[in-house]
Amino acid sequence: MAGSSATAPQTAGSSDRLWGGGYGEATHPLVLRMNASVSFDRRMWHEDIVGSVAHATMLSECGLLGADDYAAILGGLRAIHADILAGQFAWSEAREDVHMNIEAALRDRIGAAAGRLHTARSRNDQVALDERLWLRRQLAAILERLAGLLEALGRSATEHHDWPMCGYTHLQRAQPVTVGHHLLAHATAFERDAARVVDCLQRQDVNPLGSGALAGTTLAIDRARTTELLGFARPSRNSLDAVGDRDHLAEALFCAALGSTHLSRVGEELVLFTSAEFGYVRLPDAFTTGSSLMPQKKNPDMAELLRAKSGRVLGDLVALLTVLKGLPLAYNKDLQEDKEPLFDGLSTWHDTLEVATPMLAAARWQKATLLGALDRGFLLATDLADALVNAGVPFRTAHEQVAALVAQLAEADKTFRTLGAKAIAQRLTLTEAQVKEVLDVRRSLRLRDVPGGPHPVRVRKEAEGLLERVAELRVQARRWAWPCPAERLLAG
């Protein structure tokens, strides 16, 4: 085990060494420990077996693997797959990684025939393949999570399409919008996140198997066949690039970092809006925690973690980019360090999406508090200036007049409502009827009838359109998640 001083040296000729020769001394225990990656890369076990099934099938069809050996290999891989699923597989750090563990187990199970599986294959193109297969499955799951989050936002936006609330700039009350419009702003960002995931899936839809260690193989293999069996769109164009770069992983982590940043903004708003100072939203007890000392506290810990975990995912992206920086072609052992940030970043993004969805669906907006904040924030000041413009006053003059009125009211701790329409009309040379119209927040929202604006009808239609696009996104997620032909062969 990692960190154990009892790890025995691996001697030349050890049964755990699957290839290589000419070793005159034992491998140092610290080298074994540092070189081992099975503790984290074994999560790709399913993809490793699927890749081997596709490779063995192609070798058999090309006459490079006899029928009996192919049957033995396929049967052995199926048995190992079943053992791992059942939790009955013994992982060994001495066997270094997921690939050697499975190949060695196959050798233990079926004997010499297992040695034919690695024909025309390197561990370099094998790991590149496993990562692409794993990434495809994970991004498909993330697409499904994004669809769920978008559905929750769309349904809440529909329900609150005409609920007025303060819109903010600089975290200062600015102009009125609706709760639905606010929620759809976040949804728009999450839709872009989903589009980036689809783009990443399409760009990484390439089969590296057959690239070998770096220069392909002299054996007559059929890369088009493994591409078909593994469900890829095309084989890789350059063997050096296929085994030596990881930009598709960096792109996936960028998607995760930016998606997590969007989630962190939601988390921050929930922290603010659920505070007593705002009181706009209440979260159910299921998504809050108590204080070890203060009996009255209900803390929005899940919202705070949405905010915090974005930093962790950003760190994963920076870690991977730093590993890739300056690497010469083709494969280098540095690339072993691509997996931990990849696994952590995508798993963290997936988990935060999973918790954000029911939390946002269960959030309860407080109508009375939202309306009270509108009155206190002078949010219709711009509407008053626009009314003066309609009466022929230059905008800059109108702006100065309304700003002066707001300053006087703030100093006197008054609002437009407490001063009254008649007094406002006298100060701004408007009619009382004009001022009453202007100070109607629902009328203000209705006047903002432009594409992308907060008019309640437009908000409702946009929410309905979002829910339609969610259905399309789920179709995309299922498309990428469907089992490839090699998986169906594995299942028998």
- All structural domains of the chain with their residue ranges: 29-116, 123-371+465-491, 381-438
* CB atoms inside a 10 Å sphere around CB 331: 21
Amino acid type, 246: R
- Cα(213)–Cα(122) distance, integer angstroms: 5
Chunk the chain into consecutive blocks of 10 residues (it has 492) and report each block's average pLDDT, rounded to whole numbers: 36 44 73 85 97 98 98 98 97 93 97 97 97 98 98 98 96 95 98 98 98 97 98 98 96 98 98 96 91 84 96 98 95 93 98 97 96 88 92 94 93 91 91 92 93 96 98 96 97 91
Please give the pLDDT value at position 289: 85
Catalytic residue among 4, 5, 170, 292: 170
Please give the pLDDT value at position 324: 96
- Cα(457)–Cα(443) distance, integer angstroms: 13
**Contacts by 8-16, CB closer than 8 A, 24 or more apart:** 10/94, 14/94, 16/92, 16/94, 16/95, 16/104
- Cα(427)–Cα(422) distance, integer angstroms: 9
Q: Among candidates 392, 429, 460, which has minimal Cα distance to 159?
A: 460
Q: Are 164 and 371 in contact (CB under 8 A)?
A: yes
Please give the pLDDT value at position 452: 95
User: Is 291 among the residues known to form the active site?
Assistant: yes
Alpha carbon distance, N-terminus to C-terminus of the chain: 35
Burial environment of residue 277 by CB neighbours within 10 A (0 to 12, 13 to 18, 19 or more): exposed
Please give the pLDDT value at position 34: 85
What dotted CATH number matches 123-371+465-491? Answer: 1.20.200.10
Amino acid type, 433: A
Q: Among candidates 205, 162, 195, 186, which has minimal Cα distance to 469?
A: 195
Residue 358: φ, ψ to 5°: -70, -30
Q: Among candidates 266, 302, 265, which has minimal Cα distance to 283?
A: 302
- Cα(122)–Cα(302) distance, integer angstroms: 44
Structure tokens at 415: 């609002």
Please give the pLDDT value at position 14: 42
Residues 6+ away with beta carbon under 8 Å from 320: 246, 249, 250, 253, 337, 338, 341, 342
Catalytic residue among 15, 39, 275, 291: 291
Please give the pLDDT value at position 3: 38
Structure tokens at 288: 């809050």
Q: What's the fold here for domain 29-116? A: Fumarase C; Chain B, domain 1 (1.10.275)
Structure tokens at 149: 């989050």
Residues 6+ away with beta carbon under 8 Å from 127: 41, 97, 99, 335
Q: Among candidates 354, 409, 411, which has minimal Cα distance to 380?
A: 409
Please give the pLDDT value at position 293: 83
Please give the pLDDT value at position 292: 82
